[in-house]
Amino acid sequence: MSINTSGGHAAMDYAEHQRTYAGFLYLAKIAIVLIVVLLAGMAFFLV
């Protein structure tokens, strides 16, 4: 992700914001994969 932060406020820590957002996206992807695996397992073993 490339965002031009040159015009932003000096007090903002844009690197930390980007790191936090990247971590959020990573955890969201992992959660989606786990939910799909759970639902597939339920469909296979409960039906």
pLDDT digits (tens, 9 = 90+) for 1-47: 667 767 777 788 888 999 999 999 999 999 999 999 999 999 999 98
pLDDT at 9: 77
pLDDT at 1: 61
pLDDT at 14: 87
Q: How far is CA 42 from CA 2, 30, 36, 45, in A?
A: 40, 18, 10, 5
The Cα 42–Cα 40 span in angstroms is 5
Question: Which residues lie closer than 8 Å to 40 by C-beta, 6 or more apart?
Answer: none
Place of tokens 């955890």: 27
